[in-house]
Amino acid sequence: MKKVKTKRRSWLWLSVFVALALLAAACGDDSDDTSTDADGPTTDADAASGEDDANADGEAENLGNVEVGHYFGSDLGQQAILDINSTFTNGSVAISPIEHEAFKDQILIALAGGEPPDVFSYWAGARTASVQRNDQLQPIDAVFDGADVWNNFPQALVDAGVYDGDPYLLPFGFHYVAFFFNPQVLADAGVTDLPTTYEDLLTAADQIAETGVKPFALGSMNRWPAQFWFDFLLLRTAGPDYRAQLMSGEASYEDTEVTDALELWKEMFDAGYFVDDANAFTWSDAADSVANGEAAMTLMGTWITGYWDGNGLTPVDDYDFFNFPVIDPAVENAALGPIDGWVVSADAANPEGAFALLEHYAQPENQLDWAIGQGALPPNSNADTSQLNPVMAKALEQVNNADSYSFNYDLATPPAVAEFGLDMFQAFMDNPAGFADLQSDTQAAAVEAFGN
Amino acid sequence: MSWSTEPVTTSSSEKTGGGLTNVNSTNRWVVIFIGPPLLLFLAIVAVPTVMALRLSFTDAHLLSDSSNWVGLENFRDALGNEHVRKSIRITLVWTVFGAIVPPVVGLGIATTLQNTSRFATFMKSALFVPIALSLVVVGQVWIWIYQPGDGLLNEVLGVVGLETLERAWLADRSTALWAVFIAWAWQQTVLAMILFLAGLTTVPDELVEAARVDGATRFQVFARVVVPLLRPVTTVVLSLIAINSLRNFDLVFAMTSGGPVRETETVPLLVHRVLFRELEQGRASAISMILFAMTLVVVGGLTWWGRRGSYVND
Amino acid sequence: MSMTESAPRTEPGVLRRRAGLIVLVIFVGVYLVPVLGVVLTSLKTNAEIAERGIWAPTGNLTLDNYFEVWRKANTSRYLINSIQVTLPAVVISIAGGTAIGYALAKLRPCGGAVIQLVVVAGLFVPPQVLLVPLFTIFSDAGLLNTLWPMILVHSAVGLSITTLVMRNFFDQIPDTLRSAAIIDGANEGQVFLRVMLPLARPALAALATLQFTFIWNDFLYPLVFTTGDDVRTVMLGLLAVQGQFTVAFGTQAALAVIASVPTVLIFIVFQQHFVRGLLAGAVKG
pLDDT in tens, A281-327: 999 999 999 999 999 999 999 999 999 998 899 999 999 999 999 99
Q: For residue C83, is it within any domain?
A: yes
All residues of chain A having their beta carbon less than 8 Å from the beta carbon of residue B15 are none
Strand partners of residue A297: A181, A216
The answer on pLDDT for B26 being more than 90 is: no
The answer on pLDDT for A357 being more than 90 is: yes
How far is B55 from C61, CA to CA, in rounded Å? Answer: 55
The answer on pLDDT for C243 being more than 80 is: no
Whether C50 and C146 share a structural domain: no
Whether C120 and C249 share a structural domain: yes
Find the CB nearest C124 among B134, B142, B295.
B295
ipTM of the complex, rounded to two decimals: 0.87
Neighbours of chain B (3+ CB pairs under 8 A): A, C
Beta-carbon separation of B33 and C217 below 8 A: no
The answer on pLDDT for B12 being more than 50 is: no
Backbone φ and ψ for A216, nearest 5 degrees, come out as -115, 120
How far is C148 from C139, CA to CA, in rounded Å? Answer: 12
How far is C27 from B10, CA to CA, in rounded Å? Answer: 42
Cα B66 to chain centroid distance, Å, stands at 36
C201 falls in which pLDDT band (50, 70, 90)?
A: confident
The answer on pLDDT for A344 being more than 60 is: yes
pLDDT of residue B236: 87
Q: For residue C285, is it within any domain?
A: no
How far is A327 from A265, CA to CA, in rounded Å? Answer: 12
pLDDT of residue B262: 92
Q: For residue C284, is it within any domain?
A: no
Q: Which residue of B has its CA nearest to C138?
A: B44
All residues of chain B having their beta carbon less than 8 Å from the beta carbon of residue A11 are 51
Beta-carbon separation of B116 and C20 below 8 A: yes
Q: Which residue of C has its CA nearest to B17?
A: C108
How far is C100 from C117, CA to CA, in rounded Å? Answer: 12
Q: Report the phi/psi class of residue B215: left, alpha or beta, with left for phi > 0 and alpha for psi in -120 to 50.
A: left
Q: For residue C53, is it within any domain?
A: yes
All residues of chain C having their beta carbon less than 8 Å from the beta carbon of residue B118 are 2
B7 falls in which pLDDT band (50, 70, 90)?
A: very low
pLDDT of residue B131: 87
pLDDT of residue A18: 55
Q: Which residue of B has its CA nearest to C156?
A: B41
* DSSP secondary structure string for all residues of A78-139: HHHHHHHHHT--SSEEEEEE--HHHHHHHHHHHHHTT---SEEEEETTHHHHHHHHTT-B--
How far is A355 from A353, CA to CA, in rounded Å? Answer: 5
Cβ-count burial of B86 within 10 angstroms (0-12 exposed, 13-18 middle, 19+ buried)? Answer: middle
CA distance B174 to chain C (A): 24
All residues of chain C having their beta carbon less than 8 Å from the beta carbon of residue B235 are 282
Nearest of C119, C125, C124 to residue C166 by alpha carbon? C119
B114 falls in which pLDDT band (50, 70, 90)?
A: confident
Beta-carbon separation of A426 and B51 below 8 A: no
Higher pLDDT, A24 or C226: C226
The answer on pLDDT for A58 being more than 50 is: no
Beta-carbon separation of B45 and C152 below 8 A: no
In this complex, how many residue pairs, one in chain A and one in chain B, have their CB atoms less than 8 Å apart? 97
Q: B23, B24, B34: best mutation site toward chain C, by most C Cβ within 10 Å? A: B34
The answer on pLDDT for A392 being more than 70 is: yes
Do the Cβ atoms of B56 and B282 come closer than 8 Å? yes
Whether C29 and C124 share a structural domain: no
Q: What is the mean pLDDT of residues C7-13?
A: 53
The enclosing domain of C234 has a CATH number of 1.10.3720.10
For chain B, the residues whose C-beta falls within 8 A of a C-beta of chain A are: 24, 27-28, 30-31, 35-36, 39, 42-43, 46-47, 50-51, 62-67, 148, 167-168, 170-173, 259-262, 276-279
Domain range for C31 = 3-63
For chain C, the residues whose C-beta falls within 8 A of a C-beta of chain A are: 109-111, 114-115, 135-145, 224, 227-229, 239-240, 243-244, 246-247
What's the mean per-residue pLDDT of chain B? 85
The answer on pLDDT for A105 being more than 90 is: no
What's the mean per-residue pLDDT of chain C? 85
CA distance C66 to chain B (A): 16
Q: Which residue of A has its CA nearest to C136?
A: A113
What's the mean per-residue pLDDT of chain A? 87
Q: For residue C158, is it within any domain?
A: yes
Q: Name the domain count of chain C.
A: 2
Whether C137 and C223 share a structural domain: yes
Q: A115, A120, A221, A222: best mutation site toward chain C, by most C Cβ within 10 Å? A: A115
Q: What is the mean pLDDT of residues B242-252?
A: 93
Q: What is the mean pLDDT of residues C23-39?
A: 84
Beta-carbon separation of A50 and C228 below 8 A: no
Residues 6+ apart with CB under 8 A from B213: none
- CB atoms near residue A238 (< 10 Å): 22
Burial B20-40 (b: 16+ CB within 10 A, else e): ebeeeebbebbbbbbbbbbbb
Beta-carbon separation of A1 and B42 below 8 A: no
C43 falls in which pLDDT band (50, 70, 90)?
A: very high
Cβ-count burial of C215 within 10 angstroms (0-12 exposed, 13-18 middle, 19+ buried)? Answer: buried
All residues of chain B having their beta carbon less than 8 Å from the beta carbon of residue C213 are 131-132
pLDDT in tens, A233-262: 999 999 999 999 999 999 999 999 999 999
- CB atoms near residue A55 (< 10 Å): 6
CA distance C11 to chain B (A): 15
Q: Is C42 on the interface with B (CB under 8 A)?
A: no
Domain end residue (candidates: C63, C88, C107): C63
How far is C254 from B226, CA to CA, in rounded Å? Answer: 43
Q: What is the mean pLDDT of residues B49-66?
A: 91
Cα B91 to chain centroid distance, Å, stands at 11
What is the share, in percent, of chain B residues with pLDDT greater than 90? 51
Do the Cβ atoms of B51 and A15 come closer than 8 Å? yes
Beta-carbon separation of B260 and A35 below 8 A: no
Q: What is the mean pLDDT of residues C69-80?
A: 89
All residues of chain C having their beta carbon less than 8 Å from the beta carbon of residue B275 are 131-132, 135
Q: Which residue of C has its CA nearest to B125?
A: C268
The answer on pLDDT for B15 being more than 70 is: no
All residues of chain A having their beta carbon less than 8 Å from the beta carbon of residue B81 are none
Of A212-226, C99-113, C143-157, minimum mean pLDDT range: C99-113
Domains of chain B with bracketed CATH: 76-312 (1.10.3720.10)
Do the Cβ atoms of B98 and B185 come closer than 8 Å? yes
pLDDT of residue A46: 38
Q: What is the mean pLDDT of residues A118-134?
A: 94
Find the CB nearest A279 among B51, B260, B279.
B260
Strand partners of residue A167: A162
What counts of helices (H) and strands (E) characterise chain C?
A: 14, 0
Q: For residue C228, is it within any domain?
A: yes
Burial B112-140 (b: 16+ CB within 10 A, else e): bbbbbeeebeebbeebbbbbbbbbbbbbb
Helix (H) or strand (E) holding A432: none
B263 falls in which pLDDT band (50, 70, 90)?
A: very high
Strand partners of residue A336: A406
In this complex, how many residue pairs, one in chain B and one in chain C, have their CB atoms less than 8 Å apart? 349
The answer on pLDDT for C155 being more than 70 is: yes
Whether C109 and C222 share a structural domain: yes
B10 falls in which pLDDT band (50, 70, 90)?
A: very low
Q: C140, C151, C245: best mutation site toward chain A, by most A Cβ within 10 Å? A: C140
Whether C56 and C76 share a structural domain: no
How far is B130 from B138, CA to CA, in rounded Å? Answer: 8
Q: For residue C131, is it within any domain?
A: yes
pLDDT of residue B197: 84
Q: C132, C143, C159: best mutation site toward chain B, by most B Cβ within 10 Å? A: C132
**CA–CA–CA angle C152, C153, C159 (5° rounding):** 95
Whether C80 and C54 share a structural domain: no
How far is C11 from C160, CA to CA, in rounded Å? Answer: 50
Beta-carbon separation of C139 and A101 below 8 A: no
Whether C8 and C120 share a structural domain: no
- CB atoms near residue A15 (< 10 Å): 18
Residues 6+ apart with CB under 8 A from A196: A322, A323, A325, A326
Beta-carbon separation of B45 and C192 below 8 A: no
Q: What is the mean pLDDT of residues C64-86?
A: 91
Nearest of A388, A405, A187 to residue A296 by alpha carbon? A187
Higher pLDDT, B150 or B265: B265
Find the CB nearest A99 among C137, C244, C247.
C244
How far is A313 from A298, CA to CA, in rounded Å? Answer: 16
The answer on pLDDT for C203 being more than 90 is: no
Find the CB nearest B127 among C27, C95, C122.
C27
Beta-carbon separation of C142 and A53 below 8 A: yes
What is the share, in percent, of chain A residues with pLDDT greater than 90? 74
Domain end residue (candidates: C63, C79, C112): C63
Neighbours of chain C (3+ CB pairs under 8 A): A, B
Whether C122 and C189 share a structural domain: yes
Residues 6+ apart with CB under 8 A from C53: B149, B150, B155
All residues of chain C having their beta carbon less than 8 Å from the beta carbon of residue A72 are none
**CA–CA–CA angle B94, B100, B101 (5° rounding):** 85
How far is B303 from C121, CA to CA, in rounded Å? Answer: 13
The answer on pLDDT for A51 being more than 50 is: no
The answer on pLDDT for C141 being more than 50 is: yes
Residue type, position A95, single letter: I
A61 falls in which pLDDT band (50, 70, 90)?
A: low
- List C-alpha distances in Å: A413 to A130, A251, A302, A309, A439: 10, 12, 21, 31, 16
- CB atoms near residue C180 (< 10 Å): 13
Do the Cβ atoms of C44 and C68 come closer than 8 Å? no
Backbone φ and ψ for A403, nearest 5 degrees, come out as -75, -30
Cα A215 to chain centroid distance, Å, stands at 26
How far is A436 from B154, CA to CA, in rounded Å? Answer: 33
Q: What share of chain B is helix, strand, coil (3-state, %, to 5)?
A: 75, 0, 25
In this complex, how many residue pairs, one in chain A and one in chain C, have their CB atoms less than 8 Å apart? 70
Q: Which residue of C has its CA nearest to A113?
A: C139
Cβ-count burial of B194 within 10 angstroms (0-12 exposed, 13-18 middle, 19+ buried)? Answer: buried
pLDDT of residue A3: 37
* DSSP secondary structure string for all residues of C193-225: IIIIHHHTHHHHHHHHHHHHHHHHH--HHHHHH
The answer on pLDDT for C215 being more than 80 is: yes
Do the Cβ atoms of B233 and B195 come closer than 8 Å? yes
- List C-alpha distances in Å: B26 to B23, C108, C118, C210, C216: 5, 9, 22, 32, 37
Burial A297-324 (b: 16+ CB within 10 A, else e): bbbbbbbbbbbbbbeeeebeebbbbbbb
Beta strands in A218-304 (DSSP E): 295-301
Q: What is the mean pLDDT of residues A403-431?
A: 94
Domains of chain A with bracketed CATH: 65-175+338-382 (3.40.190.10), 177-336+408-451 (3.40.190.10)
Whether C176 and C84 share a structural domain: yes
All residues of chain A having their beta carbon less than 8 Å from the beta carbon of residue C243 are 99-102
Residue type, position A67, single letter: E
Higher pLDDT, B140 or B11: B140
How far is A198 from A203, CA to CA, in rounded Å? Answer: 9
Whether C178 and C207 share a structural domain: yes
Whether C74 and C130 share a structural domain: yes
